[in-house]
Amino acid sequence: MNHPFGKEEAASQKQLFGFFCECLRRGEWELAQACVPQLQEGQGDIPKRVEDILQALVVCPNLLRCGQDINPQRLAWVWLLVLEKWLAHEKKLLPVVFRRKLEFLLLSEDLQGDIPENILKELYETLTQGAVGPVPDGNPRKESCTHHLSSEAISVLWDLLRQSPQPAQALLELLLGEDDGTGLCHWPLQNALVDLIRKALRALQGPDSVPPGVVDAIYGALRTLRCPAEPLGVELRLLCEELLEACMTEGSPLREEQLLSCLLHKASRGLVSLYGHTYAEKVTEKPPRATASGKVSPDHLDPERAMLALFSNPNPAQAWKVAYFYCLSNNKHFLEQILVTALTLLKEEDFPNLGCLLDREFRPLSCLLVLLGWTHCQSLESAKRLLQTLHRTQDPGCDELLRDACDGLWAHLEVLEWCIQQSRCCKSLLNLPGQVSTVSVQYS
């Protein structure tokens, strides 16, 4: 083939593009993929034409020529990966619907025996249509779908959750999409799942025997729920209350540890916070009375008194769980809340409770609290009790610098105490006027 003088590179790229198209027509996929990197560096409209072809290979897999060892959906997945790499080089994003539709087609291969064909078609239509805009109430977090699933389709999905939880979860995650403010979250389907979970929870507490797989269906449905941080609907609040009640019921098959593991994922962060708030309210309705000094009413549930009451629980695991939920529901940093509680006790000179709070897990915070609370001591006796309660020179978890600083404070305290004693001796011997006592008070 003759190339025009001075245009050899453009002619070579055009020839390569023709070879790429011929490989696609023949089904020589490896050779076609090998041409893609060079075509991306092409001139003119060649890169745009190649990108359009790659998108067509992904969108219309049934038109591809496939061999016996690979089906159209799996071949389209290979080209999806090529297209993702192409768009990443161009600093573009792959449309989410491309991947979701292809994932659905791959998943449906394993579900054809479990889901009727007409239901699969309905689910695919719902997936392809997705979300179209905000609902009439103006709430930006919810987006309506042009196609609502039928009750038959929702019933089939719930049965699939009972029989095959993992494939059902994968299918529901595709249908629900991502709730990122611009995602394709299918809110009608999520509301239907919440209703089914609540119905199953009531069935667990009823006198009738529960069908097999209901507990697995509850766990699987909880793993797929999408929940924004704020605001939360009434249905989700009721769901958290009923989940908590079911876990606390004696003999219930639900296990709270497994239930929480189902909720702890990125898309359900708001639901975890809501469950924690519900739990904290339930547990701290009548908090255990801590041995308070009497300066703060034990019936007043301020954050500091609540944390002290929680860690007065003889069960460490229960105390940690309640404290975690309490801080989560109140948007408090856990360690900060512990330090604030300890400083409050120090100001009240409630040293027995202070030592109890900073025992065990929080012992490394003792020396830090000595430095933070030193200026709050109102007397020499108060400073001595603070050091006697919190300063542990043999604590291996204490930072060396903090321990040295506390040693210095203890030494200064001993010197000050000696000076006060000497001033009192001089006063008694020399019968000095009463102004000397004022000086000793200022030293203390």
Segments of the chain scoring below 50 in pLDDT:
131-146, 180-184, 286-301, 393-394, 429-444
Residue 196: per-residue pLDDT:
93
Tell me the C-alpha distance between 384 and 414, whole Å.
9
Residue 226: per-residue pLDDT:
83
DSSP character string of 230-273: S---HHHHHHHHHHHHHHHSTT-S--HHHHHHHH-SGGGHHHHH
3 state SS of 250: coil
Tell me the C-alpha distance between 337 and 322, whole Å.
13
Of the candidates 51, 74, 94, which is a domain's last residue? 94
Determine the structural domain holding residue 348 and report its residue range.
325-429
Asked if residue 423 is part of any domain, the answer here is yes
Nearest to 175 by CA among 186, 165, 166: 186
Asked if residue 422 is part of any domain, the answer here is yes
Residue 420: per-residue pLDDT:
74
Cα angle 34-39-44, degrees, rounded to a multiple of 5: 170
Asked if residue 222 is part of any domain, the answer here is no
> Residue 134: phi, psi to the nearest 5?
-75, 155
For 330-393, where are the alpha helices, taking DSSP H only?
334-347, 351-357, 366-373, 380-390
Of the candidates 45, 70, 94, which is a domain's last residue? 94
Of the candidates 42, 59, 94, which is a domain's last residue? 94
- Helix axes 187-205 and 165-176, enclosed angle (nearest 10): 140
Residue 397: per-residue pLDDT:
56
Asked if residue 208 is part of any domain, the answer here is no
Asked if omega into 253 is within 30° of 0 (cis), the reply is: no
Asked if residue 100 is part of any domain, the answer here is no
Classify strands 143-145 and 131-134 as parallel, antiparallel or unpaired: antiparallel
Residue 109: per-residue pLDDT:
84
* Model pLDDT for residues 243-258, shown as the tens digit of each residue: 988 888 888 888 888 8
Asked if residue 233 is part of any domain, the answer here is no
Tell me the C-alpha distance between 104 and 184, whole Å.
15
3 state SS of 361: helix
Residue 301: per-residue pLDDT:
44
Asked if omega into 433 is within 30° of 0 (cis), the reply is: no
Residue 312: per-residue pLDDT:
65
Residue with tokens 């709050």: 376
Asked if residue 344 is part of any domain, the answer here is yes
Residue 185: per-residue pLDDT:
52
Residue 399: per-residue pLDDT:
61
For 60-150, where are the alpha helices, taking DSSP H only?
72-89, 96-111, 117-129
Structural domain count, the chain: 2
For residue 273, what are its two tokens?
A: 């916070």
Asked if residue 31 is part of any domain, the answer here is yes
3 state SS of 134: strand
Tell me the C-alpha distance between 150 and 232, whole Å.
25
As beta bridge partners, residue 144 has 133
